[in-house]
Structure 1
């Protein structure tokens, strides 16, 4: 047997043993000392590429697509969300329409009532003058008619403005005269500190915040 057949397997390479002597590789299958066949070296176990994977689970390009598909909403769920959003939008539009309609209705009612009160101003002025002169004494038929008329207007939100002793308010009063505090017939409320109504020539009327006519009054300043 040649020297090349005597090189033991698994020994150092020729490059590693360069300069250290010849290298003998023994490739004989029969051991010369025992005469028994030599056992082949156990090959190194190979580790499968998916050894770290959990049994029953496989990863691949298709898994990413399946995972991504779970995030996509179901067509029925998406349709239900769209219908819900549409219903909410319609409900908000209906609420706005209802509120706007109510405001317009109140405005129209106030405007119509104001037109009626303006047409009745001469009659209301006559009632006021009759009371000032004592012609509408309590218990007389005309006094009862005047009270019913004013009560009816009150049910529609009509309020009378302009009373002796109340502070002057330019939004509901029109001052026709300015009288001295110590003048004849001028009586100021006790403790008055601002311009005060001391005489009412014509009463005023308002409906809510809308002034139909300002009260025409005489005022006086406390001394």
Structure 2
């Protein structure tokens, strides 16, 4: 019976050279120790050991192949965040524009509603104002009553822009005048208001009631 030959051990080479074989520069003690440790670790790796397992994964469990570039991944993530930020800014801008339009419409509608309310009140007061104007023309508006009426008309004018209009001698304008009588004369060259039967009233630029007049036109 033959005895098995003991396996031949490979000589262990320790890289303790003080000069770096690549650069030729003098190594520090730390570099010598690092080179020795690297050589020892290389000896412990068996020949032919695959760096990847048969299923294509590395020993740490990650998939084989080239590792993802962290700089490229960071750039892609930054680009995605920038796109999300731009979309969020666009949404905020659109929301702000819609809010501004809503505020503008609300103000216009509120002003229009206020104007309609004033017009409604003036329309209700027109018969009273007609009586006041007729009494003033006939000298029947005197004493404390005249003072109260003056305050009322002043308030309507200053606070609510109520204006009485219509006067004899004006050129007839169908947008502000309503002709109740018509005659002709050689003394006029255009349709002219010869008499105001009832004054007109406007609130701001809107005519609440046109002036009711007698008109004289050329022959």
* Partner SS for 1:175: strand
The Cα offsets for residues 146-182 of structure 1, whole Å up to 9 and x where unpaired, read as 2211111112122222222222111121100113336
Distance 2:186 2:148 in 1: 38
* Partner SS for 2:185: coil
Corresponding position of 1:173: 177
Q: Which has the higher helix share?
A: 2
Corresponding position of 2:210: 214
Q: TM-score, normalised by structure 1?
A: 0.58
Q: Structure 2 regions of 5+ residues with no counterpart? A: 1-70
Classify 1:165/1:141 alpha carbon distance in 2 versus 1 (closer, same or farther; 3 Å).
farther
* Partner SS for 1:100: helix
* Partner SS for 1:118: helix
Query: What is the Cα deviation at residue 222 of structure 1?
Result: 5.0
Distance 1:114 1:148 in 2: 19
Corresponding position of 1:98: 103
**Bigger radius of gyration:** 1
Corresponding position of 1:163: 167
After TM superposition, the runs of 4+ consecutive aligned structure 1 residues lying more than 4 A away are 69-73
The Cα offsets for residues 37-93 of structure 1, whole Å up to 9 and x where unpaired, read as xxxxxxxxxxxxxxxxxxxxxxxxxxxxx99x9699623322221121111101110
Distance 1:152 1:182 in 2: 43
Corresponding position of 2:156: 153
Classify 1:81/1:193 alpha carbon distance in 2 versus 1 (closer, same or farther; 3 Å).
farther
Structure 2 residue 205 is matched with structure 1 residue 200: no
* Partner SS for 1:109: helix
* Partner SS for 1:136: coil
* Partner SS for 1:180: strand
Query: What is the Cα deviation at residue 116 of structure 1?
Result: 0.9
What is the RMSD of the two structures over their aligned residues, measured on CA atoms? Answer: 3.2
The Cα offsets for residues 158-211 of structure 1, whole Å up to 9 and x where unpaired, read as 22222222221111211001133369xxxxxxxx75322121111111223332
Q: Structure 1 regions of 5+ residues with no counterpart? A: 1-65, 184-191
Corresponding position of 2:90: 85
Distance 2:124 2:192 in 1: 29
Task: Give the length in aligned residue pairs.
Answer: 153
Classify 1:71/1:198 alpha carbon distance in 2 versus 1 (closer, same or farther; 3 Å).
farther
